[in-house]
Amino acid sequence: MSAHTFWDGPYDGRCGPGRGIPFGSSSVQHGSAVFEGIRAYASTTGEPHLFRLDDHLIRLLGSARELGIRHAYDLDRLRELVIEATAASGLHDCYVRPGLFAADPVLSIDVGRLPFTLGVEVWPMAAPGAAARGPGVRLTVSPWCRPSPSSFPPRVKAVGTYVTSALAKSAAVAAGYDDALQLDPGSGRVAEATVSNVFLVRDCALHTPWLCDSLLAGITRDTVLTLARELGLAVYQGPVETEDVRAADEVFLTGTASELVPVAALDEHAYAAERPVFDTLATAFRNATTGARFTHPGWLTPVHATARTTTHQGA
């Protein structure tokens, strides 16, 4: 799978499409960069649309602000460039990763000294739904907790923090599982999975860990909460213990790339193969992302209608 790379920076031979950013960059050496993952879907009209683009870009700007990253972008400019990059890729169903990176090789961890530039990677990503129809993933509980809020702000989507996710995921896979739940380090409650949020269904009501614990405020999580309310389901955000997950009728994960993924088992405990609430929500999600139903203002941004000619493209 090859991606299309866009770089909103100088073509001075050091960085840009096909070259990436220098190995000596602080973003590479220290993980000081922030990023987003956004889906574009071929909608019912056949045109690609970016799903919840502004919400992702607002989170990107918030991540940058929280880390003290210096850059020259506002929401309008980011939107314009991400649409441009997506349009230039020619892809319809794809995964779009904008990030703010420090390209200059500078031996410093002081992000305030480094100028950050936008890079966008566009990956082909098949039309969704396959995971939702599959048997589900097998989870374990990771010994690796999420970062403590006193070590790192949990709402920030920064490159460096993914080492924690990588640790938990790799250990789970090595032990024969697909993924792992990670706990909040202070409370010991369930926070999220390694790159996704977690939901459980109990007596037809939907539960998910509250944002008081150390988890990313997922945009798919928010979409599912919104759709569930519209479908008339009782929805609770609150403390979730590992035992609550084990005792649930249905469990599923949510994330932009993976969408809604059912959980088949937690350690030795298997869940029922029938998942009526999950199935209803997965269908509603599919309808919302293609614009067939459950449309919300601002959720679908058309790609071609608004795109200008791109100047920076490489594959």
Q: In 99-218, which residue ranges form alpha helices assigned H by DSSP?
A: 130-133, 162-174
Least distance from ligand PMP to the Cβ atom of residue 176, Å: 22
Q: Please report, as a single letter, which amino acid is at residue 295.
A: T
Q: Which of 92, 97, 169, 221 binds ligand PMP (CB under 6 A)?
A: 221
Hey, which residues between 45 and 104 contact ligand PMP (CB under 6 A)?
none
**Residues 160 and 32: beta-carbon distance below 8 Å:** yes
Among 198, 219, 240, 300, binds ligand PMP (CB under 6 A): 219
Per CB under 6 A, the segment of 71-79, 116-124, 213-221, 232-240 that binds ligand PMP is 213-221
* CA 265 – CA 64 distance, rounded (Å): 37
| CA pair distance 192, 181, nearest whole angstrom | 6
Q: What are 215's two structure tokens?
A: 């988890």
Strand pairing report for 48-51 and 190-193? unpaired
DSSP string, 256-311: TTTEEEEEEEETTEEPPS--HHHHHHHHHHHHHHHTSSS--TTTEEESTTT-----
Binding mask 150-169 toward ligand PMP (x if CB under 6 A, else -) reads ---------------x----
Q: Which is closer to ligand PMP, CB of 82 or CB of 114?
A: 82
Determine if 289 is a binding residue for ligand PMP (CB under 6 A): no
**Rounded least distance, CB 39 to ligand PMP, Å:** 9
* 128 lies in the binding site for ligand PMP (CB under 6 A): no
Candidate residues 99, 255, 262, 291; the one interacting with ligand PMP per rule CB under 6 A: 255
Alpha-carbon distance 164 to 42, whole Å? 33
Residues sharing a CB contact under 8 Å with residue 102, sequence separation 6 or more, in sequence order: 21, 25, 26, 27, 32, 33, 111, 114, 115, 116, 117
Q: Which of 196, 214, 283, 301 is close enough to bind ligand PMP by CB under 6 A?
A: 196
Closest-CB residue for ligand PMP?
A: 218
**Interface pick for ligand PMP out of 48, 98, 218, 262 (rule CB under 6 A):** 218
Q: How far is the CB of 34 from ligand PMP (least distance, A)?
A: 12
Q: Which residues of this chain interact with ligand PMP, rule CB under 6 A?
A: 37, 165, 192, 195-197, 216, 218-221, 254-256
